[in-house]
Amino acid sequence: MSNSCIYPLILCGGSGTRLWPLSRESYPKQFLSIKKEDNLSLLQKTILRIRPLKNLQKPILVCNEQHRFIVAEQMREININDFIILLEPFGRNTAPAITLAALKSLELEEDPTLLVLSSDHEIENAEKFLTILEKGLEYSEKNKLVTFGVVPTSPEVGYGYIKSSKPLINKLEGIDIECFLEKPNLETAKELIKDKRFTWNSGMFMFKAQEIINEINKFAPHILKICKESISKSIIDLDFQRLDKLSFAKCEETSIDVAVMEKTSKGIVIPLDVGWSDVGSWEVIWQTSRKDINGNFTEGKVILEDTKNSYMRSENRLIVGIDLNDLIVVETRDAILISKKKSSQKVKNVVSFLKKSKIPEGKSHTKVYRPWGHYLSVVEDNRWQVKLIQVKPGEKLSLQMHHHRSEHWVVVSGTAKVEVNDKVEILSENQSVYIPLGSKHRLSNPGKIFLSLIEVQSGSYVGEDDIVRFEDIYGRSK
């Protein structure tokens, strides 16, 4: 076995629109616990399943500005405190992300191995997955660019396909790649899965960092040049490395498949048969979930009578189903999805409509995560809003003011330190304070337990963008 250092590159982009309303742009599926029996997010499981690999180094995570604190917090929740988070100012697909991570890893080691993983996949057989990764490492040590092709179980039209030069019979053998195919139609997919040379494109890779840089330089030198410039002009901000926005804006949006893997002579595919899923639709979630004798998955407050082969998930309210079959029902605080299982891929079309129509439920949850904790919008109107705010022990909100609203805070539990202009006071349970419009104020939690309080906003405008920040320990300017 090689002694090469392995840097996991975890791609944390994507909005997970096909799992709406649970997954939304503000908090997409990779940060959710889809199967609550393990109480881990898909991102956390991605990291934990590879921990047994020898010579594994700190993860390099690539994400956007909006999710940076979520990624950092989820790493700490699983006791990973040494990590690198590269912040992309814009999503540019996998070729730039992999280039950036390879360059970063070469700053840390002479020539490490890069293991590229998506943050939103499920794998049932983690032990077998590790065995296949170890085989991939053997090929990458020979300067091969390894990808992992999922052995098809059905004629899927939602995945791209990889064609190898010969049938994939030996499950631990790497075969030269002949070509990549885009997502096929159903008839084509039915033909492809009959041919043992075809696998689903998992989007997972393993290669030596210098080797992939060499191939990127050969086939996409413009991407390499811009990524080098973006890193050289980047700045360190708390746990994050911010890429230079002006430089990265010039980078084209393309996948590593198109930029390199379709052109290189060094690409090989290793078959992956480990119970893989990209968690790409509610139907897939139903297929991989534990079901009762009637084929139903239920979670939350659900009562069913004469219902079969359905997925019923309640986050808050009671769901009652009678004489139903093959349905998806997902309830959240502000939206309910009802769909036939076979039609669940169409959810992304609905999300596109919601965003185009500027309907907030298309992008955001009523529960919004912040580096200091989170808040939940309880009820609102045009000129007022009520929130439940929860602040983690030792954390504080920014020193700020509002032009268009005043606020009233009522402590529900815990201890609040409140600054209003030059006055500082400590509030405990059932005590309250009024924050006049235009006043400088800050809320913090000096205690050892979560601070919970009710915030009542009122004024001519209660949008989240009515904030002027004067100081912020998290480096936020807006």
Q: How far is residue 177's CA from residue 6's CA, in Å, rounded to a whole number? A: 23
Tens-digit pLDDT profile for residues 328-376: 999 999 999 999 999 998 999 999 999 999 999 999 988 888 889 999 9
Q: Is 54 left (phi over 0), alpha (psi -120 to 50) or beta?
A: beta
pLDDT-derived band at 457, boundaries 50, 70, 90: very high
Q: Which of 280, 297, 38, 290 has its CA nearest to residue 150?
A: 280
Predicted pLDDT at 1: 45
Tens-digit pLDDT profile for residues 240-287: 999 999 999 999 999 999 999 999 999 999 999 999 998 889 998 999
- Do residues 284 and 277 lie in contact, with contact meaning Cβ atoms separated by under 8 Å? yes
Average pLDDT score, the chain: 93
Q: How far is residue 327's CA from residue 307's CA, in Å, rounded to a whole number? A: 9
**If you search the block for the tokens 């009024």, which residue do you land on?**
434
Tens-digit pLDDT profile for residues 12-21: 988 788 999 9
Q: How far is residue 448's CA from residue 312's CA, in Å, rounded to a whole number? A: 37
Domains of the chain with bracketed CATH = 6-277 (3.90.550.10), 282-348 (no CATH), 367-471 (2.60.120.10)
Tens-digit pLDDT profile for residues 51-104: 999 999 999 999 998 899 999 999 999 999 999 999 999 899 999 999 999 999
What tokens does 416 get?
A: 């609040």
Predicted pLDDT at 119: 96
* Main-chain phi, psi angles of 128, to 5 degrees: -65, -35
- Highest mean pLDDT among 24-38, 178-192, 333-347 belongs to 333-347
pTM of structure: 0.91
CA atoms within 13 A on the CB side of 353: 6
Least confident of 140-144, 261-265, 442-446, 470-474: 470-474
Q: How far is residue 5's CA from residue 57's CA, in Å, rounded to a whole number? A: 7
